[in-house]
Amino acid sequence: MSEPIELMHIFRSGAGFIRGQALALISRLSRRRFHTTVAGELDARTKRRLVMNRARWVQMPLPTDIHPLQQIRTARRLARLLSTQDTALVHAHGFQAAFTALLARRHLANGPVVICSPYGLPGLVQRSGLARQSLVRAARWVMREADVVVVQSDYEALQLASLASGNVDNLQVVPEGVVLESLREDFEPGAKRRLVGLDPMAAIVGVMAPPEGTGVTSFLQAARSVMALRPNVEFVSIGHGAKTEHFVQVAHHLGLSGCTVFLDERADIVEIIASLNALVIPADYPGARRYAVHALANNIPLIVAENGGLPDVVSEIKQARTVPRDDVAGLEQAMAEFLDTVPARDSDELFDDDIGFSHRELMVSGMVIDFDTVGLEPVPGRELTDEQDAIQRTIERFSMQRVASHFTHLYTQAAGKQGTAAESTG
């Protein structure tokens, strides 16, 4: 039996999505095949998770700016650590981690293989002028020098090819890994709705707000039109980019204050998604696939941005729609498809003395009928429907276990090539 491969991951705990992906991957790697060390800026929670998975860790600051002296000092420190650990393979999570690893390798006679997972383009939006040019040059250098650049979708591959002004020959696609969280046995959608301030009997449309809030304003504008014909519809915005004063003011201006709830990032996001009648993801961003897969797993209709890699997630799913980003009319139409509609006749507006309110106030989405049917489980003795089968295939494609198998093969292959090259030069 061959010796375990000395593997080092580099990331910082502050990047929540990257940390989650790295920790979930590490927990699924065979300890007989890999000895894992993690280097970077690590918080106490991350360290505890690593100890539970029998991984070593080294606290090491990573640069946050293109400052030459800081970059060189960090690279030299990492080079000493790589030499001490006899590291054969480095998986750098993010452009900065990869930049540091590649600089460190230049200080070693027989450096490790460096695999870079960039997770999209570097932070170009916040940069301008010389800073932006320097960042682009550094990113291009990383893509040239890294042994493998792992992207999570074909769309991300196109983005990096555009940044590199040409083909990148060392790209490999490994999907974003999703850890499918089971709902609690006592989970009840109505109770969850009441807990966050939503009407248990309303038709609820949720929107996952990207970190920068991209697409949320367009969603709220579409929500205004949807609500005008469906008085029992409510909306909830979820995520780091959701609970901002700006979007609260937009909702107030559109007359949505009484039927819209804004929630920040929460530990129970999966349960909130399972309590919805439809979920909108208005822009592609790291982590969006986790929410898309959880919506599909809980039989929640899904509307995703056409501009990005999300359409690939729902390509086989009938209860999903793709809409161009910021297309208000398209969003309104897609949401309306998943809600019951009644022809807008004058008689629908009439107040009924017997029941105490108008007929149109009785309109409830057909998806609210039975909350006990949440999930993919078929009736005992029945096979999965075509839709359920398509959803199951999608879940399996993005499962973290399958992603870990991809990386196990990639690590083994890359380390084997490095070993062969070292023997030939020796």
pLDDT confidence tier of residue 420, bands split at 50, 70 and 90: low
What does the pLDDT look like over 329-381, one tens digit per residue?
999 999 999 985 444 444 444 444 544 444 444 444 444 434 444 455 544 55
pLDDT confidence tier of residue 34, bands split at 50, 70 and 90: very high
H/E stretch holding 151 reads: strand 148-151
3-state DSSP call for residue 224?
helix
Least confident of 88-92, 162-166, 277-281: 162-166
Q: Region 61-67: what's the mean pLDDT? A: 82
In whole angstroms, what is the distance from residue 62 CA to residue 38 CA?
A: 13
In a domain, 236, yes or no: yes
In a domain, 183, yes or no: no
Residue of 143, 152, 115, 119 whose CA lies nearest to 7 = 115
Together in a domain, 166 and 241: no
Together in a domain, 132 and 42: yes
What pLDDT sits at residue 184? 87
Look up residue 309 and give its amino acid.
G
Q: Region 160-167: what's the mean pLDDT? A: 82
pTM above the 0.85 mark? no
In a domain, 225, yes or no: yes
What pLDDT sits at residue 368? 41
Together in a domain, 372 and 304: yes
Q: How many domains does the chain have?
A: 2
Together in a domain, 91 and 11: yes
Give the residue, 259 or 369, on which the prediction is more confident.
259
Read off the tokens for 128.
């301008």
Give the residue, 380 or 72, on which the prediction is more confident.
72
Read off the tokens for 250.
């937009």
pLDDT at 3 over 50: yes
**Contact between residue 231 and residue 360 where contact means Cβ atoms under 8 Å apart:** yes
Q: Region 278-288: what's the mean pLDDT? A: 92
In a domain, 161, yes or no: yes
pLDDT confidence tier of residue 382, bands split at 50, 70 and 90: low
pLDDT at 110 over 60: yes
Instruction: Give me the chain's average pLDDT, please.
Output: 86
Backbone φ and ψ for 297, nearest 5 degrees, come out as -65, -30
Read off the tokens for 251.
């909702």
How far apart, in Å, are the Cα atoms of 328 and each of 16, 193, 222?
30, 26, 5
3-state DSSP call for residue 204?
strand
Together in a domain, 340 and 412: no
Strand order in the sheet with 148-151: 56-59, 34-40, 5-10, 89-93, 113-117, 148-151, 171-173
Residue of 109, 108, 102 whose CA lies nearest to 138 = 102
Together in a domain, 391 and 288: yes
Together in a domain, 125 and 263: no
Residues 114, 119, 122, 126, Cα dihedral to 10°: -150
What's the sign of the alpha-carbon dihedral 89, 21, 309, 374? positive
Together in a domain, 324 and 302: yes
Together in a domain, 282 and 404: no
Backbone φ and ψ for 37, nearest 5 degrees, come out as -125, 140
Together in a domain, 294 and 390: yes
Write out the DSSP string of 67-128. -HHHHHHHHHHHHHHHHHHT--EEEEESHHHHHHHHHHHTT-TTPPEEEEE--SS-S-TT--
In whole angstroms, what is the distance from residue 142 CA to residue 389 CA?
A: 40
In a domain, 328, yes or no: yes
How many residues are given for the chain? 426
Backbone φ and ψ for 248, nearest 5 degrees, come out as -65, -40
For 238, the domain range is 189-397
β-bridge mates for residue 207, sequence order: 237, 280
In a domain, 269, yes or no: yes
Together in a domain, 125 and 193: no
Give the residue, 390 or 355, on which the prediction is more confident.
390
- CATH code assigned at 307: 3.40.50.2000
What pLDDT sits at residue 370? 40
In a domain, 31, yes or no: yes
In a domain, 182, yes or no: no
Together in a domain, 240 and 124: no
**Contact between residue 36 and residue 56 where contact means Cβ atoms under 8 Å apart:** yes
What pLDDT sits at residue 212? 85
